[in-house]
Amino acid sequence: MPRFSRRSFLHLSAAASTAAALRIMSEPLLAAAARRRPVPAPGAVVIDANENPLGPCQPARDAMAAILPHGGRYSDNLTDELVNTFAKLEALNPDYIRATVGSTPPLALSTIAFTSPTKSYVTADPGFETGMMTADHNGARVVKVPLTKTYAHDVKAMLAAASDAGLFYLCNPNNPTGTLTPRSDIEYLVENKPKDSVVLIDEAYIHLSAAPSSLDLVKAGKDVIVLRTFSKVYGMAGIRCGFLIARPDLADKVLDRGGYNFMPVTAVVAATASLKDPTLVPERRRINATIRQQTFDWLSHNGYSFIPSESNCFMVDVKRPGQEIRDAMAKENVMVGRIWPIMPTWVRITVGTQEEMTKFQSALQKVMKS
């Protein structure tokens, strides 16, 4: 398990500490804990939590402004509209879609639903930590299986490692490496998993890559849950919206663990407007890929090793304890990271704006040469 010092947690806000006590660790909490201070200094380059610096698209901003006077109503019909919009776009049965406040809650609740002291949680290493931390808190065995040489999930090793698996977590593209797992491997996992286990496919970053979605496995009635979020390509991390997509019996089992609540109307209308904007995904994928490629070119040119990513984050090898570089970069007002214990000299970098990445480059050169 990633270890955080008590001291680092003391700097978190009260809300963050409460969530930490519940072990529902989200990307911003993990970033803040690793950052060792609660709020970045003014003007800081914040590329440590895989956020989208572009924020919500204009139609989403307009929709939020228009709904504000009606914020005194629950207006759950708006959530139905969001679900129906997504169902139509993806040719899904609306009964298979549940709107959620980002994808952290359904990830944690799925872990609680399908793991236990006798049902393990199986994940890639390095992998996104929310599920493993929740599983650990739930008394489940956490089985961390190293990625393959091409940084894909090693599905055969994952299957071999845990005949008692309750939940297989597969993040595609993976956080933190930004690398893809081939479709054939995902199918192999789903077809060969132990009978009562569930495969959770986290597609938080799917739109930033050209990888096919696994939604068709849900449509085919498999024991598969797909999670989506509006926090990444849609730039709505602070607004909070996501989906759990699964057979209704699986979705109910997850959300029975405390997942039923009204959605914030601002999030719902912004998400609906974002889905209806046909330019958003291709345009933002292109912007992210362009800045990412320019950064990779610069890294190659300057002799740095990195993992080619298909997402909005990538790992760079700083060839010394990653935390030293994170701390030194923070002094330059550039927040990067975090570090995964299995790759102690690698630091995760989020793709920011062109300007932010230029500042990142200058700071990295400075700290690496000092």
Ligand X SMILES: Cc1ncc(COP(=O)(O)O)c(C=O)c1O
Residues near ligand X, by CB under 6 A: 26-27, 50, 102-104, 107, 128, 171, 175, 202, 204, 229, 231, 237, 242
Distance of closest approach, residue 109 Cβ to ligand X, in angstroms: 12
Which among 242, 269, 204 is positioned nearest to 63, based on CA atoms? 269
Q: Which residues contact 281 (CB under 8 A, 6 or more apart)?
A: 207, 233
> Nearer to ligand X by C-beta: 103 or 209?
103
* CB 242, min distance to ligand X, A: 5
What residues have CB less than 8 Å from 339, skipping those under 6 apart?
A: 34, 322, 323, 326, 346, 347, 348
Q: Using the 8-state DSSP alphabet, how is residue 343 labeled?
A: S
Min. distance of Cβ 313 from ligand X in angstroms? 8
> Which residues are within 8 A (CB) of 287 and not within 5 positions of it... i.e. 6 or more apart?
54
Minimum CB–partner distance for residue 307 and ligand X (Å):
16
Identity of the residue, 284 or 328, whose beta carbon is nearer to ligand X in the bound complex: 284
Sheet holding 97-100, edge to edge: 97-100, 242-245, 224-229, 198-202, 165-171, 120-125, 142-146
Cβ atoms of residues 140 and 120 within 8 Å? yes
Instruction: State the nearest-atom distance from the C-beta of 241 to ligand X, in Å.
Output: 8
Relative orientation angle of helices 265-275 and 58-67, to the nearest 10 degrees = 150
Give whichever of 321 and 341 is closer to ligand X, judged by the CB atom: 341
Give whichever of 204 and 273 is closer to ligand X, judged by the CB atom: 204
Cβ proximity to ligand X: between 171 and 316 the closer is 171
Collect all residues with Cβ–Cβ distance below 8 Å to 293 and sequence separation of at least 6. none
**Continuous H helices in the chain:** 6-10, 14-22, 27-35, 58-67, 77-90, 104-114, 130-137, 155-161, 183-192, 215-219, 248-255, 265-275, 280-301, 322-331, 354-369
- For residues 26 and 197, which CB has a smaller minimum distance to ligand X in the complex? 26
Nearer to ligand X, 27 or 154 (CB): 27
Biggest CA-to-CA distance, the chain: 58
Minimum CB separation of residue 365 from ligand X in Å reads: 28
Alpha-carbon dihedral of residues 316, 317, 318, 320, nearest 10 degrees? 150
**Cβ 269 to ligand X shortest distance, Å:** 17
Q: Which residues pair with 225 in a beta bridge?
A: 200
Shortest gap between Cβ of 341 and ligand X (angstroms)? 18
Q: Which residue, 86 or 128, has its beta carbon nearer to ligand X?
A: 128
Query: Measured between alpha carbons, how far is residue 52 from residues 109, 223, 259 in Å?
Result: 25, 31, 26
Q: Which tokens go with 125? A: 């290493």
Cβ proximity to ligand X, 231 vs 328, nearer residue: 231
Residue 212 CB, nearest distance to ligand X (Å)?
Answer: 18
The Cα 256–Cα 246 span in angstroms is 14
Q: What is the DSSP letter of 32?
A: H
From the CB of residue 283, how many other CB atoms can be counted at a distance below 10 Å?
Answer: 14
